[in-house]
């Protein structure tokens, strides 16, 4: 008997993730804040991501179809050059690090992904894109810690990096106590169709 049946719905989003060395660079810059503000609800470094489209709760039966169309789209997308830069906050409670680099390309990719998902008949709330990594959240009565940490990140500039994969991610929000954790449902390498075309050899006349 299966004690953990597959849920009938999944809370999912489409995202990019910085490579490990770029995340480690930011984590080192955050070490003083980790020590000074242990009461903040810090996200795990492996959960850092740039959300392109938040889809909310979807029927599990729609996920395989979504995987197929996103795989095709990633294969045709060239890698973007991005970087992590500075810090900020939303409403003094959510700490984030900003994104630098090919922001025009990032916005175009997000718009294209959202249009593609809608063309599949999947409805979701279309929130304005503010590219960032969510790093931590404060408690309800704490209105000073997050702004202080954000100010300390103001001069941070990470090394540039190229996007590697498009991720379809699931989360456990609303599924019990404890921190928010994320898991890849699937991820697809960018530009595989472009590379295949570039490596093709013309037939002999």
Q: What CATH number does residue 142 fall under?
A: 3.90.1140.10
pLDDT at 7: 67
Q: Which two tokens stand for residue 32?
A: 């003083």
**Among 91-105, 152-166, 191-205, whose mean pLDDT is lowest?**
191-205
The reply to whether 137 falls in a domain is: yes
Q: What is the pTM of this model?
A: 0.87
pLDDT for residue 172 is more than 90: no
**Among 20-24, 51-55, 168-172, whose mean pLDDT is lowest?**
168-172
The reply to whether 124 falls in a domain is: yes
The reply to whether 203 falls in a domain is: no
Domain count, the chain: 1
The reply to whether 46 falls in a domain is: yes
| Structure-derived torsion over alpha carbons of residues 115, 74, 85, 169, reported in degrees to the nearest 10 | 80
The reply to whether 77 falls in a domain is: yes
> In terms of residue numbers, what domain contains 88?
9-195
pLDDT for residue 112 is more than 90: yes
The reply to whether 44 falls in a domain is: yes
pLDDT at 79: 96
The reply to whether 152 falls in a domain is: yes
The reply to whether 133 falls in a domain is: yes
pLDDT at 160: 97
CA 167 to each of CA 83, 84, 98, 134, 150: distance values in angstroms, whole numbers, following the listed order = 18, 18, 19, 16, 27
Does residue 176 contact residue 29 with C-beta atoms inside 8 Å? Answer: no
Confidence of residue 178 (pLDDT cuts 50, 70, 90): low
């Amino acid at each position: 008997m299966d004690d953990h049946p597959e849920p009938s719905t999944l809370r999912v989003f489409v995202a990019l993730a910085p490579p490990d060395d770029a995340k480690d660079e930011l984590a080192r810059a955050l070490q003083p804040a980790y020590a000074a503000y242990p009461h903040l609800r810090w996200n795990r470094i492996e959960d850092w991501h740039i959300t392109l489209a938040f889809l909310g709760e979807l029927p599990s039966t729609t996920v395989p179809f979504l995987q197929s169309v996103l795989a095709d789209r990633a294969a045709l997308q060239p890698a973007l050059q991005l970087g992590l830069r500075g810090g900020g906050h939303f409403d003094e409670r959510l700490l984030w690090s900003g994104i630098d680099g090919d922001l025009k390309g990032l916005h175009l990719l997000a718009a294209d992904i959202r249009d593609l998902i809608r063309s599949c008949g999947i409805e979701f709330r279309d929130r304005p894109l503010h590219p960032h990594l969510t790093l931590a959240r404060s408690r309800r009565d704490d209105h000073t810690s997050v702004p202080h940490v954000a100010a300390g990140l103001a001069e941070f500039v990470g090394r540039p990096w190229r996007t590697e994969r498009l991720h379809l991610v699931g989360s456990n929000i609303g599924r019990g106590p404890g921190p928010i954790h994320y898991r890849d449902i699937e991820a697809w390498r960018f530009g595989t169709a472009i590379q295949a075309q570039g490596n093709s050899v013309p037939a002999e006349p």
